[in-house]
């Protein structure tokens, strides 16, 4: 498994370096495809070895810590460089602080080494992989690779559309693949110093990707992403130093020692703050919303399998240390609040990508709430939500990207009746929406578990119940708009590159099959080796998940859903033989289904638009209050720890 770990982390680095050089685009595409396939296979091969932990004596002739020391500084100076380049004090100050802190830190460590105390040896395992890490590795390697595959045709189109004289694809794929390696490294490392390096790397990667198109808006939004995430990195650095002072930067040791005293709680709170910035929780949501200016594969990668999942991963990792604490309760409240607030903002949006972005923030909020509730049930819910959210959100982003290149708009109103223009893409998108909100799909199973786990916490359940209704509203509206078309015309498949179809269909089928496979997934992955102190809370009988107070008939419902689906599809086939009539317009119909003969024999075109309720849920109206409330909650989290 050592070899597999190295492949998962270092292969993307090597491949990305090759991509960076000007090589023929066919060779590059081939490189990306093979790298992706090797990543997928290696991540699957890793399954039987879990859980494992190991420390290589030397890696390329150096200790792990020595190996990352120089790149760590290079990264921090690179961030500082971009800070100066874009003249942003918000980047420069935290970056300088971070560099100073890390230098100081290195001096402490090396002095410790000289005195022979060997403090650094207190990190027993450099690499650690339990089921939580494994799930993250699988998500990153499989979904990340699929997104990279789809990026090949997308970027070709994208650059043709932008009429670039020199292709920027080498840099683009360099960062994309690098990102995958960094993410795998992050979830497999056990030493906070190493994690800090990878965290800084994700920050820089997302900055480069968001600013990829190089226009004014892209630059502005990428700078915002950099300063916000850099602030998170600074918080992480401080937490790392506190932990070093307390004895160990070994994550497994940290969560095994119950926090005693304010200092360790402060460190935990700082780590949570770092996670919130990475996962774009309020009030740091604007970087993720701004990230949608990037090419769509970037959004897909950031939203589904990388970056934002770092935050929830870290908090879930640390959850055992916070068990039963006030901090944990605050996180639950904060997460539930974000779930509701982001869902509200999504209702007010007609921009498809913004709806997706807010829904990501909202779902991450729910995952944080689950992590904060900190019971086996809620942790199970959180991990299910991570898995299914990653697949479904990647699918939806790729769909929107495909639609956008076709109709040159990302506005939901422009997608009205998309079914007649791009039937299969529209259907896959609707399928994605259905998998976001409906049983028996995994995401709803997660939500069900989350709600039952939250029922004892009155604030969390109230926020979650309202948020859940808002969520159903904005998704149903979107799905309906896609299908809104008076024609029952024959199914004429639109033209798309094979890779695009493969990516969309594999993600769609993957989410469906995994939902059916939930019972097996549960027995296979949700074992005590999920994370520390985790006990599988549900018993499984005939595919029915049950605990003392709830029962979810996962498998039977899937079977009924499949039968219901087939029966409804048959009904559709029957309906194609039915007489097609024009929609009712309360006037004399004309040959054109949207036009009727009105008063004075004038032709009137009937039009309807969606409700976005922007005077209630508008971004301008709500954001400031939500940020304020989130700020107060955040102060409670960090201040409460002191």
Partner 1 sequence: MTTSQGIIMILAGLASGPLLGGLIAGLDRILTARFQSRIGPPLFQPFYDVIKLFGKEKMVVNVWQAFCANAYLTAASISVVLFFLRSDLLLILFIQAVGAVFLVVGAFSSTSPYSQAGAHRELLQILCYEPLLIFVVVGIYLLTGSFKIASVYAWNQPVLLKLPFMFVVLSFVLTIKLRKSPFDLSTSHHAHQELVKGLLTDYSGSFLALTEIAHWYETVLVLGLCSLFWTTNPIGAILLVGLTYFLEIWIDNVSARLNWRWMLGYGWAMGMSLSLVNLVWLYAR
Contacts of 534 (CB under 8 A, 6+ apart): 376, 379, 526, 528
Identify which of residues 111 and 576 has a Cβ nearer to partner 1 in the complex: 576
Identify which of residues 89 and 608 has a Cβ nearer to partner 1 in the complex: 608
CB 213 within 8 A of CB 162: yes
439 lies in the binding site for partner 1 (CB under 8 A)? yes
580 lies in the binding site for partner 1 (CB under 8 A)? yes
Contacts of 259 (CB under 8 A, 6+ apart): 265, 268, 321, 322, 325
∠ CA 556-559-563, nearest 5°, is 140
Distance, CA of 109 to CA of 398 (rounded, Å)? 46
Least distance CB 435 / partner 1 (angstroms): 12
**Residue for token digits 């209050």?**
625
Distance, CA of 500 to CA of 152 (rounded, Å)? 9
Distance, CA of 31 to CA of 518 (rounded, Å)? 34
Report the site for partner 1 in 417-436 (rule: CB under 8 A).
417, 419, 430
Identify which of residues 230 and 380 has a Cβ nearer to partner 1 in the complex: 380
The count of residues interacting with partner 1 (CB under 8 A) is: 68
Least distance CB 227 / partner 1 (angstroms): 36
Identify which of residues 146 and 346 has a Cβ nearer to partner 1 in the complex: 346
Least distance CB 470 / partner 1 (angstroms): 7
Distance, CA of 362 to CA of 346 (rounded, Å)? 9
581 lies in the binding site for partner 1 (CB under 8 A)? yes
> Nearest CA to 285 among 624, 542, 640?
624
608 lies in the binding site for partner 1 (CB under 8 A)? yes
CB 454 within 8 A of CB 378: yes
CB 344 within 8 A of CB 617: yes
Among 89, 114, 498, 572, binds partner 1 (CB under 8 A): 572
575 lies in the binding site for partner 1 (CB under 8 A)? yes
Distance, CA of 230 to CA of 98 (rounded, Å)? 9
Distance, CA of 473 to CA of 267 (rounded, Å)? 39
Least distance CB 34 / partner 1 (angstroms): 41
Least distance CB 365 / partner 1 (angstroms): 16
598 lies in the binding site for partner 1 (CB under 8 A)? no
Phi, psi of 194 (to 5 degrees): -70, -40
Least distance CB 552 / partner 1 (angstroms): 6
CB 478 within 8 A of CB 612: no
Distance, CA of 433 to CA of 396 (rounded, Å)? 8
340's enclosing H/E stretch is helix 326-347
**Residue for token digits 């998704």?**
475
Cα atoms in the 13 Å half-sphere on the side-chain side of 152: 25
Least distance CB 496 / partner 1 (angstroms): 21
Binding mask 358-387 for partner 1 (x = CB under 8 A): ------------------------------
Identify which of residues 403 and 503 has a Cβ nearer to partner 1 in the complex: 403
Least distance CB 375 / partner 1 (angstroms): 15
Identify which of residues 401 and 537 has a Cβ nearer to partner 1 in the complex: 537
Strand partners of residue 250: 191
635 lies in the binding site for partner 1 (CB under 8 A)? no
Report the site for partner 1 in 535-564 (rule: CB under 8 A).
548-553, 557, 560, 564
Least distance CB 333 / partner 1 (angstroms): 15
**Any idea how long the chain is?**
642
- Indicate the SS3 state at residue 312: helix
Binding mask 441-480 for partner 1 (x = CB under 8 A): ---x---x--xx--xx-x--xx--xx-xxx-xx--xx-xx
345 lies in the binding site for partner 1 (CB under 8 A)? no
487 lies in the binding site for partner 1 (CB under 8 A)? yes
571 lies in the binding site for partner 1 (CB under 8 A)? yes
492 lies in the binding site for partner 1 (CB under 8 A)? no
Contact footprint for partner 1 (CB under 8 A): 417, 419, 430, 437-439, 444, 448, 451-452, 455-456, 458, 461-462, 465-466, 468-470, 472-473, 476-477, 479-481, 483-488, 548-553, 557, 560, 564-565, 567-569, 571-572, 574-586, 593-594, 606-608, 610-611
């Amino acid at each position: 498994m050592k070899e597999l770990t190295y492949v998962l982390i270092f292969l993307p680095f090597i491949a990305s370096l090759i991509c960076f050089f000007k090589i023929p685009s066919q060779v590059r595409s081939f490189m990306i495809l093979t790298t992706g396939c090797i990543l997928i296979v290696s991540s699957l091969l890793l399954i039987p070895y879990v859980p494992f932990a190991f420390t290589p004596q030397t890696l390329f002739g150096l200790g792990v810590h020595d190996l990352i020391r120089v790149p760590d500084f290079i990264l921090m100076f690179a961030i500082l460089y971009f800070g100066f380049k874009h003249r942003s004090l918000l980047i420069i100050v935290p970056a300088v602080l971070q560099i100073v802190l890390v230098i100081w830190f290195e001096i402490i460590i090396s002095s410790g080494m000289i005195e022979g105390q060997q403090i650094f040896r207190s990190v027993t395992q450099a690499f650690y992989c339990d089921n939580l890490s494994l799930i993250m590795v699988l998500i990153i390697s499989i979904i990340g690779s699929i997104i990279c595959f789809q990026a090949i045709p997308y970027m070709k189109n994208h650059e043709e559309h932008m009429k670039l004289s020199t292709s920027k694809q080498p840099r683009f794929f360099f960062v994309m693949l690098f990102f995958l390696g960094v993410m795998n490294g992050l979830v497999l490392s056990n030493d906070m110093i190493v994690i800090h390096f990878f965290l800084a790397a994700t920050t820089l990667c997302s900055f480069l990707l968001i600013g990829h198109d190089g226009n004014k808006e892209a630059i502005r939004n990428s700078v915002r992403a950099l300063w916000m995430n850099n602030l998170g990195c600074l918080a992480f650095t401080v937490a790392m130093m506190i932990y070093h002072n307390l004895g160990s930067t070994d994550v497994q040791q940290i969560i095994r020692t119950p926090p005693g005293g304010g200092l360790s709680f402060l460190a935990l709170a700082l780590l949570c703050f770092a996670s919130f910035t990475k996962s774009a929780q309020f009030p740091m949501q604007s970087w993720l919303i701004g990230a949608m200016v990037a090419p769509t594969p970037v959004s897909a990668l950031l939203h589904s399998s990388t970056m934002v999942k770092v935050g929830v991963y870290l908090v879930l990792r640390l959850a055992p240390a916070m068990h039963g604490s006030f901090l944990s309760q605050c996180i639950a409240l904060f997460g539930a609040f974000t779930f509701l607030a982001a869902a509200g903002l999504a209702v007010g949006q007609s921009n498809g990508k913004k709806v997706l972005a807010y829904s990501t923030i909202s779902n991450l909020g729910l995952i944080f709430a689950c992590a904060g509730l900190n019971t086996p049930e809620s942790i199970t819910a959180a991990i299910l939500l991570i898995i299914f959210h990653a697949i479904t959100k990647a699918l939806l982003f790729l769909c929107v990207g495909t639609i956008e290149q076709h109709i040159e708009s990302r506005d939901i109103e422009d997608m009205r009746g998309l079914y007649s223009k791009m039937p299969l893409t529209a259907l896959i998108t609707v399928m994605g929406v259905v998998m976001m909100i409906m049983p028996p799909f995994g995401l709803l199973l997660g939500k069900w578990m989350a709600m039952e786990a939250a029922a004892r916490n009155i604030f969390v359940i109230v926020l979650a119940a309202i948020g859940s209704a808002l969520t159903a509203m904005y998704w149903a509206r979107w799905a309906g708009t896609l299908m809104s078309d008076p024609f029952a015309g024959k199914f004429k498949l639109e033209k798309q590159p094979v890779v695009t179809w493969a990516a969309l269909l594999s993600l769609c089928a993957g989410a469906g099959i995994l939902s059916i496979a939930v019972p097996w997934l549960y027995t296979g992955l949700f074992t005590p080796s999920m994370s520390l102190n985790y006990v599988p809370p549900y018993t499984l009988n005939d595919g029915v998940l049950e605990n003392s107070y709830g029962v979810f008939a996962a498998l039977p419902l899937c079977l009924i859903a499949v039968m219901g689906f087939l029966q409804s599809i048959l009904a559709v086939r029957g309906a194609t033989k039915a007489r097609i009539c024009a929609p009712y317009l309360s006037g004399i119909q004309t040959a054109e289904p949207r036009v009727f003969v009105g008063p004075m024999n004038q032709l009137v075109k009937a039009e309807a638009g969606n409700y976005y309720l922007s005077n209630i849920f508008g971004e301008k109206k709500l954001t400031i209050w939500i940020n304020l409330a989130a700020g107060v909650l955040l102060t409670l989290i960090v201040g409460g720890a002191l």
